[in-house]
Structure 1
Amino acid sequence: MTVAILTAPGAAEQPLGLKFAKGRDGGTYIDAIAPGYSADKTGQFSVGDKVISTSAVFGTEIWPAAEYGRTMYTIRQRIGPLYMKMQRRFGNLDYAGEMSEKEIIRAERNSGVISDRVREIQRQNYQRKIEQKERRERELREGLQLYKSGNYEEAREKFESVLGSRPTTTEASVASYNVACCYSKLNQIQAGLSALEDALEEGYEDFKRIRTDPDLANLRATAEFDTLLKRFDESFINENAINAIKSLFGFNKK
C-alpha cells in the first residue's frame, strides 16, 4: 500500500492529473497520469494502482473506495487536501479485462500451439470490447432516463460508469457533459465545472448549447464558467480578436 496527500480537483494551482478507469471488480484504478501534475510530482502513483480509500467530501473522515461511481463523486467533490490510500500494482493492467500486446506475445511464446493461442486471446479481447461498448451504451441510455425523471444523482453514477469503462472520445465527451449537467442541477458547482472541462478536453464543441442549455444554468452563473469556455472556444477568441482589430483601425466607429 502507498498513501499520498494531493490537492483536490477544483484547486486550479494543483490539479491531480489522474485519469481513472473502472475495473472488472467495480473498483477504481489509475488509467493515466498526466506529466507535471500533482500526482506525477509525488512519484507515488503508477498506472494500474487501485484506490482503496479516500477523504470524505468534507472533514477528516476516510471513506472506503468501494464503488467506482461513488469514488469519482468523492474525488470531484472533495474540498481541501485529498487523501488517497492506494494498492500498488506496479503497472499491472489486468483490471482492464484485456491483455496488452506484450502479454499476447508472452502468451504466444509460452503456448504450445502458438497461432491458435494468440487468435483465442485476440478473440477474447475483441469480445470484451464489444461487451464494454454495449454496457456503455446501456448505461448511457439508463442515465438519460434517470436524468429525465429528475434522479440526477443516480444518473450521474451511470454517466461516471461510462467514463470508467474505456469509452471512445465521443462517448467520453458526451458522458462528461451529462455529468456536468447533473452536478449543475445538484448545485455542486466545482464538480460541475470539472466535469465540463473534461468534456471540452475530450472534444465536446457544441459551444452554443453549452452557453444556452438551461441544465447548465448554475454553472453559467459563475465567473469560472466564462474563463473555462474562453480556453476552448476558438470562434469566441477569434471574434474578440477581429473586434479588437476593427477598433484599432476605427472600423467600429460611426
Structure 2
Amino acid sequence: MKSMFPFPTVNLAKPLGVKFKRGNDGAAYVSITDPRLGNTDPRIKPGDRVVAVSASFGGDVWEARNFGQVIYAIKTRNGEVFLRLESRGGNLDVFENLDETEEQRLWKEDRTVGNYSAGTKEVQLRNYDSKKRAEQERKDLFNMALSRFKAQNVEEVALIDFENVLSMEPPNFLGDDFSRVTNIARVTQYNIACCYAALGQVDSGLEALESALDSGFEDYAKVRSDKNLEKLRTSPRFKTIIDKYDEPFINEAAISAIKNIFSFGRKK
C-alpha cells in the first residue's frame, strides 16, 4: 500500500538533535527533535518513521529494518548521517500500548457504572499473557545476541540485537527493589559497550558503559578487568567514568591533600 505521507530526506552532521524510539511495530521513529541537543532539520517531526539510513561507512544507504539496526548505523557512522523519513503528520500512536489503552477504557466504563465487568478481567488476562510473551521474546533475543557476540566476528549483528533488546524495556517498570530499570537492561547496556569496544568505536562504547553504570550495573571489578573493554580502558575518559561510580581504594586526591598538609611550613 502506497503511503499517503511524503518521504523527506536529510543529511545531518553529528551530534544529532534527534532522538529515536522503538514503535510498537519494532521500527525506529523520531521521538524528540531539539536543536539544543545537536543538528536537526525543521522537516523532521516526532512520530516520523525512519525508512532508510546511511551505512556505517561509505556512501551506501540501508533500508531501515528495525530500531536496533537504525541506532547501530547512526552511532557507528563516520561523517554525516543520511535519513529518509516517512512523515506521519505528528501522529504518535506508534508509541502507545494498545492493550493497555483498551484496558484503561474498559476500567473507566466500569467505574462509571460501579461494576467490574468480565470484559475488563478478560483484557487484563490477555495483557498479562502478552507481557509474558514479550518478556520471553526479549530474553530469547538477548541470549541470541550474547551467543553471536561470543562467536566473534559477528559483533555488528550482536550489537543490533542488543539495541533491540534495550528498546524493549517495559514502560513504567518498577522492580521489587524499587528499581526503575530491569536487570536485563543493565546487562544489555554493558554488552553494548563490549560490542562497540570490539568494533573500535571507543566513544560509543564509553557512552554505553556510562549508561550501564548509571542504570545500576555494579560489577566494577569486571568493568576494570574485562578484556572485552580493553580498548575503552585506553581512553582517559574511562578512568573518569568508572571512578565516578566506584571510588578507587587509593584516593589520589586525598593522598595529595595529606601530603600538602604534612609538607606545610617545611623549608625548601
Same topology, TM > 0.5: yes
Deviation at 1:63, TM superposition (A): 2.6
Question: Corresponding residue for 1:239?
Answer: 251
Residue of structure 2 equivalent to 1:186:
199
Deviates more, 1:164-173 or 1:74-83: 164-173
Gaps (5+ residues) in structure 2? 1-5, 171-180, 264-268
Contact 1:77/1:190 (8 A) holds in 2: no
Where do residues 1-254 of structure 1 align in structure 2 (5 Å cutoff)? 1=6, 5-8=11-14, 14=15, 16=17, 18-21=19-22, 23-30=23-30, 36-38=36-38, 44-46=44-46, 48-87=47-86, 88=88, 90-94=90-94, 97-100=97-100, 104-106=103-105, 115-150=117-152, 151-166=154-169, 168-230=181-243, 232-233=244-245, 235-236=247-248, 239-250=251-262
Take 2:20 and 2:217, find their aligned partners in 1: how far apart are those partners? 18
SS at match of 2:121: helix
Is the CA contact (8 Å cut-off) linking 1:6 and 1:16 kept in structure 2?
no
Measured at CA, do residues 33 and 176 of structure 1 come closer, stay the same or move farther in structure 2, by a change above 3 Å?
farther
> Number of aligned pairs?
243
**Residue identity in the other structure for 2:19:** L
Higher relative contact order (CA 8 A, sep 6+): 1
Q: Does the 8 Å contact 2:53/2:63 carry over to 1?
A: yes
How far off is 1:25 after superposition?
3.4
Quick check: 2:9–2:82 contact (8 Å CA) kept in 1? yes
Other structure's SS at 2:117 match? helix
TM-score, scaled relative to structure 1:
0.74
Q: Tell me how far apart the structure 2 counterparts of residues 239 and 221 of structure 1 sit (CA, whole Å).
A: 20
Q: What secondary structure sits across from 1:250 in the alignment?
A: helix
- Separation (CA, whole Å) in 2 of partners of 1:33 and 1:124: 35
Structure 1 counterpart SS, 2:122 = helix
Contact 1:98/1:125 (CA < 8 Å) preserved in 2? no
Deviations 1:2-49 (A, max 9, x none): 5555443xxxxx46462532x453322346778952379969442x44
C-alpha contact 1:7 1:16 (8 A) present in aligned 2: no
**Alignment CA distance shift 1:42-1:241 (3 Å):** farther
Check whether the contact 1:4–1:83 (CA below 8 A) recurs between aligned residues: yes
Structure 2 SS opposite 1:66: coil
8 Å contact kept, 1:18–1:39? no
Rounded Cα–Cα distance in structure 2 between residues aligned with 1:34 and 1:214: 37
> What is the distance in 1 between the residues matched to 2:33 and 2:99?
20
Structure 1 spans left out of the alignment, 5+ residues: 9-13
d(CA) in 2 for partners of 1:34, 1:206: 35
1:126-172 deviations in whole A, cap 9, x for unaligned? 22221111111112222222222224333223322211212543221
Q: Determine if contact 1:5/1:82 at 8 Å carries over to the other structure.
A: yes
Shift of 1:175: 0.5
Q: CA deviation at 1:211?
A: 1.5
Q: Which amino acid aligns with 2:165?
A: V
Identity, % of aligned pairs? Answer: 28
What is the alpha-carbon distance in structure 1 between the residues aligned to residue 163 and residue 234 of structure 2?
24
* 2:27–2:65 contact (8 Å) kept in structure 1: yes
Amino acid at match of 1:133: E
- 1:239 counterpart letter in structure 2: N
Partner of 1:11: none
Decide which structure has the larger Cα Rg and report it.
2
With the length of structure 2 as denominator, give the TM-score of the two structures.
Answer: 0.71
Deviation at 1:181, TM superposition (A): 1.1
